[in-house]
Amino acid sequence: MGSRGISIVGMDIEELLTLLNKALADEWLAHYQYRGGAKVVAGPMKDAVIAELMLSR
């Protein structure tokens, strides 16, 4: 990132990258939790729940 970009961001670039990487990791975790939940759901409304969980990915 150039000096102009750094001045626009207004924060430490290493801290920014750390925060962005954490946000990305959190999104991937949520994706896998929804996917796993869709695989183990049971009950009379399971088809509706599976459809909802798969749309949330």
Express as a percent the part of the chain with pLDDT over 90.
26
Express as a percent the part of the chain with pLDDT over 70.
95
Distance CA 48, CA 53 (A): 9
* Tokens found for residue 23: 């946000």
The rounded Cα 28 to chain-centroid distance in angstroms is 4
Greater pLDDT, 56 or 49: 49
Tell me, what's the pLDDT at 38? 83
In contact, 39 and 50? CB cutoff 8 Å: no
* Tokens found for residue 29: 């975790």
Q: Across residues 7-32, what is the average pLDDT? A: 91
Distance CA 20, CA 12 (A): 12
Summarize pLDDT for 33-44 with one digit per residue, the tens.
888 888 888 888
- Domain spans of the chain? 3-55
